[in-house]
Structure 1
Amino acid sequence: MQSRATSLPHRRTVGLTLLLAAGVSLLLESPLPAQPKPVTDATTLDGKVMTGYQGWFRCPGDGTERGWLHWSRRSTITPQSLTFEMWPDLSEFSSTEKYAVPGFSHVGGTPAYLYSSVNKETIQRHFQWMQQYGIDGAFVQRFLVNLRDPSFETVLENVRVAAKDSGRTFGICYDLSGYPTERIYSRLTEDWRDMCDRRKVTRDERYLDHDGLPVVFLWGLYSDRFDAKLAHRLIDFFHEEGPYRATVIGGVPPQWRRDRDPQWAAAYRKLDVISPWNVGNIEMRGGEKIANTNIWKEDQVAATEAGARLLPVIYPGFAWTNLKGPVAQRDTIERRRGDFFWEQWVAAAKLKTGMVYVAMFDEVDEATAIFKVTNDPPTQGSYATYDGLPSDWYLRLAGEGGRMLRGEVPISEQITITPQR
């Protein structure tokens, strides 16, 4: 079935991109691999491993005046105020990337540090990790509730530079959560026009396109949050001929196919790419929590019938006891040393989805992060770790899973790499 989007002349400057991707950032102290991964083709979602990038962590001293945003529920930080589950591994970070955490120390008394997402060096580092481990790029989370916060503009601009320097691609993911329903349409469309006209983000050579159009990800198209009329208005805006037209990915509930509201059913099927949010959607097998990937086959059939593509959501595990309290222990989904993650890669590869969305790169609040996390967190507080596995284990699994997805290596039910340092 033909795509809804028509092909447009492409604007990439390939030679410049190759030159930039071959360089090594002088900002980072740790060396890059001798043979970095090839430059990501930013003209299509096909074959892509994309990850979500929250970019919402702040620290005192980073110039934002937001305190310990997303690290602590208060302006100060204590073991009781923590809102994150995993302590990031900062062993490779430069001194200008690390922010001292008062009252926190590692075994032996070594001072503890956290990072700020507005720090340009840190975003460069994260995108170079993506390059090193074969992750194609990131959807930068753009929360409607934070559009007035200039620090999120800084994050986006730093992502643009980091994507260019690392040869990765990026796209914008609008998160509709928590924003007044009556203002969603005007606020979101106003911002997209600004992205296209004044800031020219969608014309960036590293911005992700698909079917000749820039990609926009709308997360939170849920029937229990607002009515279908708004969903239709948003999708129609991006499908209208003109300078703001885009390929629309919809972040929808896992039960999207069974929605009984005919207007919502129609809205879901107007999307160009359907991405059911599968985090927390589990089944029990042998006493263990397993990601429910059985629904993907029917999801793919329904998407194809609607002329859309399926973008499965893959995640490594889940926990949020520091954020929600001890009662939330029941929600924990154990990583099982990577097996939980790998099983989803196998399912996507068998189904030949051709694209995957990894949730998330840096989300330590809900313990879905795949970036480097320490096994030796501070002694103050309680944290999840990678159970003694190397801090880059899940980055490596994502890279290898991507190779399996693209058919570069055979499908294997068992993890094909070893956790050697």
Structure 2
Amino acid sequence: MPYLKIPGFRKLPQTGVIYVMQRAAEKGWKAGDPLWSNLGQGAPEAGVLDGAPKRVENLNIPLHLHEYSPTSGQLELRQKVADLYNYRYRQGKSSQYTWENVSISGGGRIALTRIAASMGSINMGHFIPDYTAYEELLGVFKAFVPIPIIQDVTCGYQVSLEHIKQEITGRGLSAVLLSNPCNPTGQVIAGNQLQQLVELGRDYNCSLILDEFYSHYIYTDVNVNSKYPTMISAAKYVEDVNNDPVIIIDGLTKNWRYPGWRISWTVAPKDVIQVVTSAGSFLDGGANNMVQQQALSLLEPEYVIQETKALQACFAKKRDYMLNRLIKMGIKVEKEPQGTFYIWANLSGLPAKIADGFKFLEAGLEEKVITVPGIFFDVNPEKRRTYARFHQYSRISFGPAMDELTRGLDAIERVIKRYK
């Protein structure tokens, strides 16, 4: 294991986004620089969208909120999260979420870290490709063994339920971690398929840890005249909220477009919530108390519906715009994203000198555009595997506002013309 010169400290890898942002900074990038386009950062535009609710611009901070928050979060906010899930996904069901099924934490990584610290000596399945931050998370905690499950273009970046069943039974998986919709491919498990996945976890006693941070960015079956926008969650298919092994993570970062607030939640059986709260007591101590109070109004059903409809209308246009331009440039898109705000781009058809995620990144930086090499999504804890997948791929984000998106695609076009 590589160590630093300072005694006791080991070297740690950077997540893909952190790496590319450092490289961009070395080339002169600064946040807000109108000459640059950041198509690498995993964040949505946080400004005003047509038809969306008014954005929060001021925080009211009563004196008592200068105190520590409870490690599990403010009880009122925990109940508000439970109420939203019951309203949106569990109407008419006898088993309902309560505050005891919710834990608040300071962002998605903290929520995932609490869960990982709570796992026992088990085999945990994870998918490839998937969210870059899973890699170190799955490697730093030694109690469980991460088991990779491959998904690629041959299966449309969606592993069949039968394959997942074989992995659970054959490798003795006690838990499976996945993002849904998937970051970076944008593929979605929904409807009957999601219901059957929940049943699989229940029938084979395997916990499903579902990162649902992009669950409002859905571009399939969108009906603008429907009362409800299309949103997905495994919560819809849970039979007993305290016995079904379904653990859901979400927060304000993506679906509410407030990444800087660093507020997330875990929705799970109350026994799990008690354990992850205990983990939080020594890992992080609890989320920001002042911001939790402000978040209450953002979880009103009417607010969520209005925000999600505006979000989907805006991001669907950006998705189509980026798809059309990339394809015209000769970049392959094997599967159009059904969700998230990313294009999983196959670079193999480009000139050899840029048909690689890192080379594509470096060439783009010369034109002031940032992307993320696909190899970062080959989740490989502690580099146990020597073969790296997806080196000819790049994740390109349509999260920024349209003017920055256009500027970035113009830059990519210049890169490709230069190397042809």
* TM-score normalized with structure 2 length: 0.29
Structure with greater helix percent: 2
* TM-score normalized with structure 1 length: 0.29
